[in-house]
């Protein structure tokens, strides 16, 4: 009766079915969202054109996990490459890199969207719009996909190339974030809008430098 009537009984917060909806995506959708997170196109809002009222946590979770291990592995290999010329050096895996990378990435992927979502909700009374919290987290999670291949390519021992790759990845993903949130804040006054977008881009660039 529920299926024929087009109605679904709301799921309880404590049930598995409640969280299952957050992972209801297929491979094609995830790949399209990853592609959209690194291709900033004017007039193409990531939330409206990619998520289409169906945000997920599958992509953000695995992108963050992949980035954590990419950073840890590339950090270990880079350290080995740098120190192996020393005859007194004995290699030992730096497992603490995994903990540091996981703390950095997951705190950024959850706390920054939470702060931005709370600010936009507060500014709604002043004319600003707001996405849902899940949509905000989804945008930030997918925006980190640009850093995954960059972390792998950082194994190339050339400082200028490492900084160039960092700048390209940060520019692409930060541009998508700016284009996504600009329509929400531009009605709240130009100064406030520019300050919010500048904060979003600066934190994203700061994460890249931290990586």
- The pLDDT value given to residue 42: 84
Mean pLDDT of 42-53: 85
**126 or 25, higher pLDDT:** 25
CA distance 80 to 83: 5
pTM of the prediction? 0.85
3-state secondary structure (DSSP) of residue 59: helix
3-state secondary structure (DSSP) of residue 160: helix
- The pLDDT value given to residue 201: 94
Band (pLDDT 50/70/90 cuts) for residue 129 is: low
């Amino acid at each position: 009766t529920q299926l024929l009537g087009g109605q679904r009984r709301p799921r309880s917060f404590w049930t598995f079915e409640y969280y299952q909806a957050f992972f209801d995506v297929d491979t094609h959708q995830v790949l399209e969202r990853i592609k959209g997170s690194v291709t900033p196109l004017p007039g193409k809002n990531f939330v409206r054109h990619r998520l289409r009222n169906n945000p997920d946590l599958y992509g953000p979770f695995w992108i963050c996990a992949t980035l954590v291990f990419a950073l840890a592995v590339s950090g270990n290999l880079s350290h080995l490459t740098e120190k192996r010329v020393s005859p007194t050096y004995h290699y030992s895996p730096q497992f603490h890199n995994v903990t540091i990378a996981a703390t950095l990435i997951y705190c950024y992927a959850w706390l920054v969207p939470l702060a931005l979502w709370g600010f936009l909700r507060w500014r709604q009374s002043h004319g600003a719009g707001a996405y849902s919290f899940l949509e905000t987290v989804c945008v930030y999670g997918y925006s980190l996909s640009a850093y995954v291949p960059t972390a792998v390519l950082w194994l190339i021992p050339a400082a200028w190339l490492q900084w160039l790759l960092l700048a390209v990845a940060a520019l692409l993903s930060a541009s998508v974030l700016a284009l996504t949130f600009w329509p929400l804040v531009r009605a709240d006054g130009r100064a406030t809008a520019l300050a919010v977008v500048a904060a979003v881009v600066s934190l994203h660039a700061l994460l890249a430098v931290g990586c």
